[in-house]
Structure 1
Amino acid sequence: MHPGRRNLITDIAGLRVGNAADAALKSGVTVLTADRPFTAAVSIMGGAPGTRETDLLAPDRLVQQVDAITLSGGSAFGLDAASGVAGWLAARGRGFAVGAVRVPIVPGAILFDLTNGGRKDWLEGRGANPYGPLGAVACDDASDHFDLGSAGAGTGAMTGRWKGGLGSASAVLPSGLTVGALVAVNALGSVTVGETRNFWAAPWEIGTEFGGLGLPGQFPGAETPLPRKRLGEATTIAIVATDADLTQAGALRMATAAQDGMARAIVPSHTPLDGDLVFAAATGEKTMTDPLTDGFTLGHAAACCLARAIARAVFAARPAPGDLQPCWQDG
């Protein structure tokens, strides 16, 4: 297993990612879309999620494919980003056909960044909700190359210790299938071990993609972590994707397995204060030759990619005026 050419989720052919951000707002939107609709599912394990259209991702629902997935800052207000994405897609004839009408299917999830020091006067009625327009701008920006760190939905993200951010990673499997992860890290927990700069995800690092520090000599395993955020202020929202021809049930199994990657990279994770969730996307471009072995490997690879992507998000974060936390790079 080795990274794809870009070490991004867009190493999966046909997938595109777009970012949009407002520096004064200290917030933004990231959209994953594709050349055509793709199979999607979601696994939610955090205690405080904020989502749109996730119920339709269950395997027994009528609609089995989606047109895009959004990750956004802004807490519940950020769910409007998906409306901007849907409008952008509708203007281009994309969407689920209902008679003569096409309705774009755009699930989304949000993280809380409303107390990160950015401009929030629009919450007091001085200006419109900015997230719909940011969603449309992210669609305009969508390509197979995109920025990590302080970009898109990760612009104003924070963690228990370091400034958070947007991360991605990919892996090409011996079978020829490709897996990738995209994540906005705004966790209650820490991505580094104790007071060190060593990432919890170090055992899964490939090369020096997030510094190459390895693990520290000792682990504070007996310590009981205390929350540094309040209820509803933390969330890590992610997408794992593959070019395999998964059913919606198979995509759900991959998303569930990928949750292990979150637990490997953030301590603690999946807390009652986090809205942790993982979407799965499958383009179906490649046929699995051995569904049992390939399905098993896809889940493991998705977890490894997500752990790496989480560390890369914090590793790539950059300072900005008004930040409330230090960047890992400056630590």
Structure 2
Amino acid sequence: MQPGPRNLITDVAGLRVGHANDAAIKTGATVLLGDRPFIAAVHVMGGAPGTRETDLLAPDKTVQEADAFVLSGGSAFGLDAASGVADALRAQGRGFVVGDQTVPIVPGAILFDLINGGDKDWAENPYKRLGAQALADAGADFALGSVGAGTGALIADLKGGLGSASATWGGYTVGALVAVNALGRVTVGDGPNFWAAPYEMGAEFGGLGPAASFDPGALPPLKGDDSRNTTIAIVATDAALTQAQATRMAIAAHDGMARAIWPSHTPMDGDLVFTAATGAQALADPLHTPLMLGHMAALCLSRAIARGVYAASTVPGDVKPTWQARFGRQA
């Protein structure tokens, strides 16, 4: 198993990612767009999710495919980012056809970044605009760190960020995209080593390796008074999955979140994973192949979480340091 050529979710052919940011508000949105509709699924394990169109993604529901996924800051306000994406896709003639109408299917999820130091005194909800801008920006290459939905993200002790990673195995490609805004930490104790270090490929987030030791009985270090959080993610594959198989892949990917964030899936996090399956590669084995794809998704998500925090950048008005500012000279 090795990373794809970009080490991004867009190593899955037919997928593009775009970002939009607002530096004054300290927020943004990220869009994952398919060249054509993809099989879509979701699984939620956090206790405080904010979502749009997720009920539609259950395996027993009529619509099996989506046109795009949206990850956004802004808490409940940020759900409007998907409206901007849906309007733009409708103008392009994309969506689920019902009679003479076309309805784009655009599920979304949000994180809480309303008290991160930005100016939130807007006269009009900005997220519809940010969603449309992110869609227009979609391409195969995209930035990591303090961009898109990760622009204003925070974790327990550091700035969060937007991360991505990919892996290839047996002719299949899997990728992950994540906005990290967790209640917990992604590093061990007071040091720079990432919880995800055992799964690192190359030196994609510093190459520091695992921490020498940690106290498994220590109380989890949290954000303190700021208990509004969420890590929202997308995993993707070029495999031809049913919606039920894609749902199992999302469930498996949550293992990667738990390996990279301590603690994760708390009552105050809205931890969620979407799956996008483009269907380009037939399943070689209906049992073993989905198992491996879920394993790959978990590994990619762990790495993407660390990469997002590792890549975060310092900007004026930050209320927490970046990993680079706090640990970069030690690495």
TM-score, length of structure 2 as denominator length: 0.97
Tell me which moved more, 39-48 or 211-220: 211-220
**C-alpha deviation, 1:220, in angstroms:** 2.0
**C-alpha deviation, 1:226, in angstroms:** 4.6
The answer (yes or no) to whether the contact 1:48–1:232 under 8 Å persists in 2 is no
CA distance in 1, matches of 2:4, 2:84: 31
Selected match of 1:160 from 156, 159, 164 = 156
Matched letter for residue 188 of structure 2: V
Paired residue for 1:238? Answer: 233
Paired residue for 2:92? Answer: 92
SS of 2:287's equivalent? Answer: helix
Paired residue for 1:280? Answer: 275
Listed as ranges, the gaps of 5+ residues in structure 2 are 327-331
Paired residue for 2:117? Answer: 117
Paired residue for 1:27? Answer: 27
**C-alpha deviation, 1:227, in angstroms:** 3.3
Listed as ranges, the gaps of 5+ residues in structure 1 are none
The answer (yes or no) to whether the contact 1:180–1:241 under 8 Å persists in 2 is yes
Selected match of 1:253 from 217, 236, 248 = 248
Matched letter for residue 139 of structure 2: S
CA distance in 2, matches of 1:255, 1:287: 19
Paired residue for 2:300? Answer: 305
**C-alpha deviation, 1:105, in angstroms:** 0.4
Residues 1-331 of structure 1: pairs in structure 2 closer than 5 A = 1-122=1-122, 127-173=123-169, 175-229=170-224, 233-331=228-326
Matched letter for residue 152 of structure 1: G
The answer (yes or no) to whether the contact 2:183–2:227 under 8 Å persists in 1 is no
**C-alpha deviation, 1:293, in angstroms:** 1.3
**C-alpha deviation, 1:229, in angstroms:** 4.6
CA distance in 1, matches of 2:39, 2:268: 29
The answer (yes or no) to whether the contact 1:171–1:305 under 8 Å persists in 2 is yes
Paired residue for 2:329? Answer: none
Deviations 1:22-65 (CA, angstroms, capped at 9, x unpaired):
00010000000111100010010000000000000000001000
Deviations 1:250-296 (CA, angstroms, capped at 9, x unpaired):
00000000000000000000000100010001000110111211111
Misfit runs of 4+, over 6 Å: none
Matched letter for residue 324 of structure 2: Q
| Percent identity over paired residues | 67
Matched letter for residue 310 of structure 1: I
The answer (yes or no) to whether the contact 2:182–2:261 under 8 Å persists in 1 is yes
Matched letter for residue 134 of structure 1: L
The answer (yes or no) to whether the contact 1:230–1:273 under 8 Å persists in 2 is no
RMSD: 0.9
Matched letter for residue 90 of structure 1: R
Deviations 1:123-177 (CA, angstroms, capped at 9, x unpaired):
xxxx21000000000011000000000000000000011100000000001x100
The answer (yes or no) to whether the contact 1:231–1:273 under 8 Å persists in 2 is no
Deviations 1:77-120 (CA, angstroms, capped at 9, x unpaired):
00000000000100000000000100000000000000000011
**C-alpha deviation, 1:233, in angstroms:** 1.0
CA distance in 2, matches of 1:190, 1:293: 33
Taking a change above 3 Å as real, the CA distance of residues 231 and 42 of structure 1, as seen in their structure-2 partners, is farther
Matched letter for residue 194 of structure 1: G
The answer (yes or no) to whether the contact 2:17–2:30 under 8 Å persists in 1 is yes
SS of 1:61's equivalent? Answer: coil
Matched letter for residue 263 of structure 1: A
Matched letter for residue 89 of structure 2: L
The answer (yes or no) to whether the contact 1:185–1:310 under 8 Å persists in 2 is yes
The answer (yes or no) to whether the contact 1:94–1:103 under 8 Å persists in 2 is yes
SS of 1:150's equivalent? Answer: coil
